[in-house]
Structure formats: C-alpha cells, structure tokens
Structure 1
C-alpha cells in the first residue's frame, strides 16, 4: 500500500513539472479536503493537506496530514491566501470532499458550486457536505483513528451508509448543480457533525491513539434545500424514506411495536415506488411495494403459520405507511420543499402543465394531498421461525 502511494506521489510530481520548472515530491501538498466557512468579511477556507513523506513512510515522527486556513473577500481570494501559508504546491485533483458551514448553506451554495466547477484542477465527482452545528474548519481538524487521511472517512461513511442502510446520499457536483438550478427538484446533501467528549481534543494526536477516540465525525442526517438554500434537516430515519421515495437505495429498516410491548424489525431488500401527481384534483398517489426479511421478532407467535405472517405484514405495512406519510408531511409543512421530486414527475408527464405552474410550485407543493398505499411482503422469517409459540 505504501509503495503504491509512493508511486502515485511520484507520478504527480512528474505531472506538475515542466520545462524549466521542477517540483520535488517533498514540495507537493495533496489537498484531500476543503472546508469553507462564511465570515463577516468574506470566507475562511481550510485545506486538509496530505504529507507525502509521512504516507510513504519516510518520516515516522510526523502526522499524515496537516491543515491550513486562510481568509479572503471572495472564495478565490481565500484559496489564494492558502498558498502563502505553506511552502508546498497545493495539488487539487485528489480533492474528495468539500465541507461548507450552515451560514453558507442557508445563504446559498450556488457560489461554492460555481467556484468549484470553474476550477479545472478539481474533479466534479467530489462530495459536498454541510457542517451541522459546527464549522467546516473544525470538521477538517478532527483526526480519526480509522483513516490516515481523516477527511476520507466522510466519503467512506457516505458510500457505506447509502449501500447498506439507505440513510445517506451520494450526489456529485454536476448533479448538485443540476438540481439546484432545476425548479422541478430540490437537493439534499449529507451533513456531518462532531461527536466529541472534549472539544479541545479534536485536533490532538491523542484522538487517534485511544481505543475510543474523544472526537469522531458523525454522518447521521441529511441537509434539505429549497433551491440552493438550506431549509432544515432530515433525521437518519427520515433519510431512509427520502431514499425510498426517490429510488436511490434498496435497503431500509422498519420497526414497530405490537400490543404496546413486542418489538419487530424488518429489513426491506427490494422496493418499487410510483409517484403519480394529479394537479387537476390536487392529489398525489404514492404506491409503494416492498419485499424484505423479518430480522427481529419479539412477538410470541408461530411464524410457521402463514396467517400469522400475514398479520405481521399488515402491521409492518401500516407502520411503513405512517412513517412515509409523516415524512411527506414534514417536507410540506416544516421544510416547504419538494425534495422527493413531485414537480419532476409533473414536468415529465405533462410539460405544458409544468410550464403553467413552475413559477409558483413552492406555493403549490405544500397544499397537495398525498394518498400513500403500501404493499409489504415478508419473504423470509429466518431459521428461528418455529421457536415462538
């Protein structure tokens, strides 16, 4: 692994060199993550920079990363100020994550997206994340024991959670730009918080030398937008229903309680959702069909009896229907943002009608009446099916 990293760094050093100008490996600063905070006078930009010598194993007494922060009136001013804080040449093609604070998210992320997409050195398939009740600078200063390059943990967590639990999203910058500027859809982004016992230890080397790190990066909610402005957050559970309705993931967990005592857990493995708006009747039909596995059963019932399984399907299906309805109510009343893409369905089905309503869709969406129907099937009850009697 270290040899591969060393070869990669050497290739980058060669790519940075040119006629009459040679950049040594030790002079390269690979930027893994950028943090952008809004200030009174403009922006504070923080870069998490990889130390190639430490990664390659040439220096054992140094951290694998360091961070620098610079201010500027504009984003480009702030970026240029970073170059005066390090002797290394900042190398951007390996940038994987950009973190913005809530102030920027609430005022609008379009300037950040525009700045990044204009920089030819930055790949557009990077992740944009909102710092939840913290600053982007603090997020980039957290050292994590699981990654040599701490900011990479955000990418790893996002991809893992989306695949395994359906609780996160994975939109690149091109997708974010398209959705921000499309009146028929609204974007949601991953948000990150700092789970810290002692906030003073976030940038401390001791954070990576303990079995349980004092400070950890935590991705457990989604940031919901109206246009390019942050309007609120979705909980981890609500994130599942967002992904279910927009079709970006297949796995979800449904839990319910029977007779006020017995808990059930069910994992969705397959799902199909149809959203059918009818603006003439001011209604939206949501047909949801899911198949999955009973993962936990606390109810004293014989699951070898098909009738009992049908009863559990009805109970779990009713719970899923309630959860989806509650989530949709939140998008209408609290967020007032069509993050599930009903407007896109109208545009797709009837472009002429969409042209009539697109100018005031923000006012129409909260007034729509949703009719949610759920068909839930238990495909497996496990090997312990006959143990409950």
Structure 2
C-alpha cells in the first residue's frame, strides 16, 4: 500500500515539475493550434504554441486560449513536449500564423518551412510574420477573436487595406519566392507591449536571414519599388502624395 502511494505521489510530482496538467481522458477536449512561434537558441529550437481548447460536450463554454512552450534539438521533439503537456495530440491544420523570432537562423527557417507544411500539416495560406519575441506576442491575450493568431491575421488584412501595401506573407507566397530562386522576401514585423500590438513595418530577409528592418514609411516606398503597392498615401520628405498603382497587360500580335 505504501509503495502504491509513493508511486502515485511521484507521478503527481513529475506533472507539477513540468507545469502540465493532466486532462480527463473521458472528456472530448480538442486542442487546436491557432499560432506557432519559433525562436532559435543555438543548436536548440524554442516552439511556442497558442492552443485553443474546445470542449464539444458543452458548446456554451467559451473556447480557451493559452500558450505552451517546448524546446528541443528538433521541431518534432519540441512539439512532442507540448503535446505531452496537453496529454493529447495537437491539431496544426487550423494554424493561422507562423511567428519567427528575429534571432532565427537560415538553417532553422528552412527546417520550419519543411516541417510545418510537409504533408499539409498547416494550410499554405497561413501568414508568416516577424517579431522580436514570439512568446511575448502570442502570450498577450486575444482582443477581437478567440486567439491572438486570428487577431494577427485580421490585423494584416486590415493594414493592407488601409495602407495599400500587399504584404504577400502567406506561406505559399513566401515559398514561391524561395523555391523560385528569389533571394529576398519580406514579412510584416510586429511590435508588442503589455497593452498593445501593431505592425510597425517590414522585415526584409535575404537568403533566409533577417537583413533589414523597415519602418512603416520606408515599407511603403519599398512596396512601391517592388510592385507590391496598390493604393495609399506615401510621404516624400515633408510632402504626402496619394499614389495608385496600375497594371497594364500588353498584347502582341
């Protein structure tokens, strides 16, 4: 009897050390990932998963979002640790955002793209964004929806409509440039604090490495020069100009 009690205590103690709470295996609780964040720690990768917990037994209970982290020598190892904390397999097919830390190396970025989208693990229309601290971004709590990941998706679309900048940061757009031999692609850069979250410009990647950070003003000019500007107001010195781009298709006989 004492031995059984000791084993039970050891199991509970291990769960308390890893910060995980066991889920009732009889409950129908599903863990959907709304966003994934990645930061590099030398040879290790840190993964931050914003999970949305849905209980189908009681649809009146509001979905609950929380961020769980895992670190490993591979992305699979880090995600396995996150899954172990939840005691259930996590679902990646509804992930809306991939947040890359500014310390991300070219090698890790390539592995992230290969892992996340291999065998349709994540939809190819997921947005990719850049941020100094992915954990801080995803942990700040949702405002307009059930998860920060879905808030970010809405902010990118609203900012694009308001400024005229076509961010072209969905995975299939980024990967089309990478696989097409293009050395440069851009991602919207997010800054965040305890009470705010905003797009403050573009991160420019060259050969999968962060090469430059542009503020919102410079981002508009960059988008204009690269053909990713539709319509909006740009500032040149002290003057502001309303610019509208037009595309003309020529037919040759």
TM class, shorter-chain normalised? 0.7 to 0.9
Q: Which has the larger Rg?
A: 1
State how far apart, in whole Å, the 2-side matches of 1:34 and 1:252 are: 31
Unmatched segments (≥5 aa) in structure 1: 1-22, 197-213, 258-262, 275-389
User: How far has the Cα of 1:185 moved from its partner?
Assistant: 4.7
- Counterpart among 44, 47, 59 of residue 45 in structure 1: 47
Shift of residue 73, structure 1, vs aligned partner: 0.4
Equivalent positions of 1:205-244 (< 5 A) are 214-244=194-224
Q: 1:35 aligns to what?
A: 37
Where in structure 2 are the equivalents of 1:253-332 lying within 5 Å?
Answer: 253-255=233-235, 265-268=240-243, 270-272=244-246
CA shift digits 1:99-131 (9 cap, x unpaired): 111111566622211111214331111111111
Query: Equivalent residue of 1:90, what SS?
Result: coil
Paired residue secondary structure (1:99) = strand
3-state SS in 2 of match to 1:242: helix
Q: Label 1:255 to 1:249 Cα distance change in 2 as closer, same or farther (>3 A).
A: closer
Match of 2:87 in 1: 87
CA, structure 1 residues 105+75, in 2 after alignment: closer, same or farther (shift >3 Å)?
same
Q: For residue 109 of structure 1, give the secondary structure of its aligned residue in structure 2.
A: helix
Using structure 1 for the length normalisation, give the TM-score.
Answer: 0.52
| Contact 1:179 1:185 (C-alpha < 8 Å) held by counterparts | yes
**Judging changes above 3 Å, is the alpha-carbon distance between structure 1 residues 255 and 38 closer, same or farther for their aligned structure 2 residues?**
closer
Counterpart residue number, 2:118: 118
Q: SS where residue 141 of structure 2 aligns?
A: coil
For residue 151 of structure 2, give the secondary structure of its aligned residue in structure 1.
helix
Q: Is the 8 A contact 2:53 2:64 kept in 1?
A: yes
What is the alpha-carbon distance in structure 2 between the residues aligned to residue 242 and residue 53 of structure 1?
45
TM-score (norm. length: structure 2):
0.77
Structure 1 residue 252, shift from structure 2 partner: 2.4
CA distance in 2, matches of 1:235, 1:180: 24
Between the aligned partners of 1:44 and 1:224, the Cα distance in structure 2 is 22
Corresponding residue SS for 1:241? helix
Change beyond 3 A, Cα 1:102–1:78: same
For the 8 Å contact 1:256–1:264, the answer to whether it is kept is yes
Query: 2:35·2:148 contact (CA, 8 Å) conserved in 1?
Result: no
For 2:196, what is the secondary structure of its paired residue?
strand
CA contact (8 A) 1:221 1:233 kept: yes
2:133 and 2:68 map into 1 onto residues whose CA distance is 14
Separation of aligned partners in 2, 1:183 and 1:151: 29
User: Which structure exhibits the higher relative contact order, with contacts defined as CA atoms closer than 8 Å and separated by 6 or more residues?
Assistant: 2
| Cα distance in 1, alignment partners of residues 91 and 128 from structure 2 | 19
In 2 relative to 1, CA 180–108 (structure 1 residues): closer, same or farther, beyond 3 Å? farther
Q: Are residue 104 (structure 1) and residue 104 (structure 2) matched?
A: yes
- Secondary structure at 2:116 match in 1: helix
Relative to structure 1, the CA distance from residue 129 to residue 24 in structure 2 (aligned partners, 3 Å threshold; closer, same or farther) is: farther
1:137 Cα deviation (Å)?
1.4
Q: Is the 8 A contact 1:44 1:72 kept in 2?
A: yes
Following superposition, the deviation at residue 49 of structure 1 comes to: 0.7
Aligned length: 223
Question: How far apart are the structure 2 equivalents of 1:80 and 1:32?
Answer: 17
